[in-house]
Structures are given as structure tokens and as C-alpha cells.
Amino acid sequence: MSTLPPSSHPARPAVSWIGLGIMGSPMSENLIKAGYDVTGFTLEQEKLDRLTAAGGTAAGSVAEAVRDADVIITMVPASPQVEAIAYGPDGILENARSGALLIDMSSITPQTSIDLAAAAKDKGIRVLDAPVSGGEAGAIEAVLSIMVGGERADFDEAKPLFEALGKTIVLCGPHGSGQTVKAANQLIVAVNIQACAEAVVFLEKSGVDLRAALDVLGGGLAGSTVLTRKKDNFLNRDFKPGFRIDLHHKDMGIVTDAARTVGAALPVGAVVAQLVASLRAQGDGGLDHSALLRAVERLSGARV
């Protein structure tokens, strides 16, 4: 019998997936479709049932999920959740085997990623921070943009796995770089959604056919992935969460704090961060971030 560790075999590495939310569930399912053995853990039984129905294996704890994994992927809401599953006697670092590759695809602070990589190194565990952009639709369609921080050799090893999840896959620099780029991404997306929302209200109050206007705007310089992806949300006032305001509020906090640390002024970003916070304070935190339209409508005198 071979004594080589599992990752040395030519077969695809065994994957542990922690966090099966709006993004994590379809992403883990795409790995299963690509031929990976995926063992998952999350707190909600119905999401574990979904994983097993897709061909994965449900685990009863983080420790159980990661024990035999070659690659461990985490996709949870924020830094506190990453720290909760990574550290402590029942966490990833105490239970994963030496040599495993931990890929955190959550959107967290760059410093949290840097600290995690340092702590994992002491355990012989390699780390990549690899947050994504593309929302629920991008996760389902496996066309995410994946921005990665870490060592080149680890990135190269993970590349086939990333290719089952996304289309634009870039190593951005050392640990924390992926999270820094993701923060910039969330800044751009929030400002773009806010601009689109303001345009929608302006167009409707001017009596213009909104669908026609958005079609022609989408074909010109004003066109963007945000406008393409969110057009139907605006037209139908459909704010079912693909990416919740609560999460974008968290991300705007990350980018404004990080920008302050490096001395970068974000005048427009700061205003949009406050608009996101205001929408959340009005009880709309569980809605899709395209619901920034509701805030503009309220400011414009509409009852929403």
C-alpha cells in the first residue's frame, strides 16, 4: 500500500467545504460536478441535505469535515466567523493535517487573512485568501472572478480547482492581497449600484420608458456588469437577496477602514457607505444590494 499522502496521488484532492450559504452551496456543487469529492459542514441541516443530494458528504463538525481533507475551503460571512472556525480546539488549524491547503473564499479584512496565514504556517498548513465577485448568479454559473493572495506555488496547485468555480482567476500578491482587491471591488460595485439607482429614479420621474432606457444605456459607455445583472431587479423591484445589504455594509466598513490605514481618500465611497448603512438601519439589510434603489426613492419622496 502506498504511504504517500492523499495529495500526492494523481486523483483530484479531497475537499472540505465549510459554509454553505447563498454562495457556498452552488460553488461546492460545481466542484462536485467537476469530479471532486466534497465533504461539507454548516450549521443548517437543510443546506447539508442539499449538499448530499448533489453528491457530497455531510460532516457533523468542522473537525470532522477537515480531518482527511487535502484542500479546505471556507466561505462564511465575515472575519469573526472565519476566526471562529479556524481557531480553537475544534477549529481547522487544530484538526487539519499538516500540508493541507486552506483556501478562505470569504470576504474579510486583509489583516485577518494575514494573521490566519501566519497562524496556519505554525501548524504546517498553507493558506490562500481567495474572495470572489460575481454574486449568486456567478456562483451558480461558475463564472466568478477570483482574486487571490498567497504563495505562487499554492496558487498554481489550487488553479484547477478555481477553474471549476470561476473564469477570471488572478494571483494579486502576498497574503491579504486578495482581500484588498475584493474591498476595492465592493467599493466599485456599491458606487455603481447607487449610480444606477439614481438613474432609474431620474428616468422614471422624467416619464421615460425605463426598460428602453436601460437597454440603450447598457449598450454604451454607461454599460456595466452591475447594470446587466441588476437591470431586472430595478425593473421589477425584485430585491430577493443575491448579495445582502447586510454583507455589503460589512464590506464597505472593510474598505473604508483599510483606506484610512493606507491614507487613501474615498469621498464618494464614504457617502455610499453611509447610504448603505442608512438602508440597513431602515430594516432592509436582508434585501439584495440593488435595494439601494429603495433609498433613492425614499429620498425622492416615494413611499416604499
How long is the chain?
A: 304
Q: 3-class DSSP state for residue 22?
A: coil
Using CA atoms, how far apart are residues 82 and 223, in angstroms rounded to an integer? 35
Using CA atoms, how far apart are residues 292 and 198, in angstroms rounded to an integer? 9
Residue written as cell 471549476? 164
182 catalytic per annotation: yes
* Contact status, residue 58 vs residue 37, Cβ threshold 8 Å: no
Residue 133 Cα distances to 49, 283, 298, angstroms: 26, 25, 29
Q: What residues form DSSP beta bridges with 174?
A: none
- C-alpha cell, 37: 469529492
Q: 3-class DSSP state for residue 84?
A: helix
* Residue 12 φ then ψ, to 5°: -60, 145
Q: Which residue among 47, 182, 230, 250 is the active-site one?
A: 182
Give the H/E segment covering residue 168. Answer: strand 166-173
Which residues belong to the active site? 182
